[in-house]
Amino acid sequence: MWKVKPPIVFPKETRYRPILEGLVPPDPMSQFHLKRRSPEDEFPDLCRNSTWMGRILTPAMYCRQFDRCTHSGVIFDDVIRPGLEEPGDWSATLSVGCAAGDAQSYILFCDFFDRVIEAFHKHKVTSQTPESDLNYDNLKGGDNLDRSYAISCEVSVIRAVEDFCFPTHCSRGERRQLLSLARRALQRLQEELPGRLLSVEDLNQEQRTELKLDSPSAFQLRTGVARDWPDARAVWVSEDGGLVVWINIEDHLRLVCTRQDANITETFKNIYSHLQKVRRRNAAAGIKNRFSSVKSASSDLLKLQDVYRDLRHPFIWKQQLGWVTSSPADVGTGLRVKVKVKLQHLPGHRRLQDVLKRLRISMEKTESPVLYCVSNMATFGVSEVMLTQLVVDGVKLLITMETRLEGGGDIDDLVPAQK
């Protein structure tokens, strides 16, 4: 019985077949000497798997991917391993259950990845370039959240670096080279935005707690993300503490801006202005302008993407997917907007999950029983400003519902229509 209705035909498979066949080594199994049996014998048990991978993968699809291998040695079993190691829970939100080993995985296994991306982000993968809008003037209401409920906010952006495998597949040498590259890039920015690079190996427990740096989970160790921990892992912190860059922690790079006043507009403005000079470089390289709407930023802010391009290792971008990272859950914009909200009555309400689904946001518990972290679900299919606006509008509605419940009222009339 199909859990997700399959398409009658596979148009993406047909469209990309010439490219796929050209990328497949003549005999990948003899190249790697993998002793495997037939695809039918190797097909995993997905009966209790509660991930999008488990819902979408079929024996026929597995068979089509079985003998494919990227140039860096990623095979399809490597891609689906995260979903097999952590099959999920039927009562929780479905995770993607897979991870790309390198950027080429999204091309070679496109008929699988495209369907996972479409299912998770609720948006079709087409031949058109994903929409982008970094103009913070288009963001409405992000600077006036009710401070009695909205405690703090965080905006983070994930980027992967060209010519390097992703964390689940990269070697020690690659990881150390990524760290060396980050050190060179950040040193070039020392005058514009001073900061310090801290090796995770040298941090004591108090410093790790201050930076909110947790030890790797068992899942990260099993999937290889935390392999050789803490070798070649580092954190760069700006002098004013407004910007943190995580290096080789879960992704190649993760830029994080945090504010304690929950001013999402200012946080969004700060982190994306770091990337604004890429417009001129892209135009010079003949690449379509993906940042035509970003406003000018002050010259003292970080221009990390420019520096990486100068070092001949630009961030990975694909025409149909946008910014590419190891997880299909983060492709497109790589943007994650989080707001900590104080809620006491709403979390136990019977309509909460329906409300969150309609608002296209998620809400997770924190270390405090009354604080919840609200964030965007999708990163693909809509622009950066639109994703941020979804969180802003969602937080405002949740606060309105909370105040209604505090007064003993009902919130059924506040439940939004399906977006």
Whether residue 339 is annotated as binding a ligand: the answer is yes
Check: CB of residue 223 under 8 Å from CB of residue 81: yes
Whether residue 225 is annotated as binding a ligand: the answer is no
What would the DSSP string read from start to end of 231-254? TT-EEEEETTSSEEEEESSSSSEE
If you count DSSP H runs as helices and E runs as strands, how many of each does the chain have, helices first? 16, 10
Give CA 104 to chain center in angstroms.
17
Q: What is the maximum span of the chain, computed from C-alpha positions, in angstroms?
A: 70
Residues, the chain, total?
Answer: 419
Range 75-82 contact pairs with CB under 8 angstroms and sequence separation of 24 or more: 75/28, 75/32, 75/34, 76/109, 76/112, 77/42, 78/168, 78/169, 79/105, 79/109, 79/112, 80/44, 80/53, 81/168, 81/223, 82/168, 82/219, 82/223
Whether residue 254 is annotated as binding a ligand: the answer is yes
Whether residue 156 is annotated as binding a ligand: the answer is yes
Whether residue 47 is annotated as binding a ligand: the answer is no
φ, ψ of residue 281 in degrees (nearest 5): -70, -40
Q: How far is CA 31 from CA 21, 28, 69, 73, in A?
A: 16, 5, 10, 9
Give CA 86 to chain center in angstroms.
18
Whether residue 174 is annotated as binding a ligand: the answer is no
Whether residue 132 is annotated as binding a ligand: the answer is no
**Cα–Cα nearest to 90, from 45, 47, 56:** 47
Whether residue 367 is annotated as binding a ligand: the answer is yes
Whether residue 365 is annotated as binding a ligand: the answer is yes
Calpha distance 253→181 (Å, rounded): 11
Whether residue 152 is annotated as binding a ligand: the answer is yes
Angle, vertex CA 374, rays to CA 344 and CA 368, nearest 5: 45
Whether residue 340 is annotated as binding a ligand: the answer is yes
What residue has token string 């407004």?
242
User: Which residues make up each annotated binding site for ATP?
Assistant: 152-156, 254, 336-340, 364-369
User: Which residues make up each annotated binding site?
Assistant: 152-156, 254, 336-340, 364-369
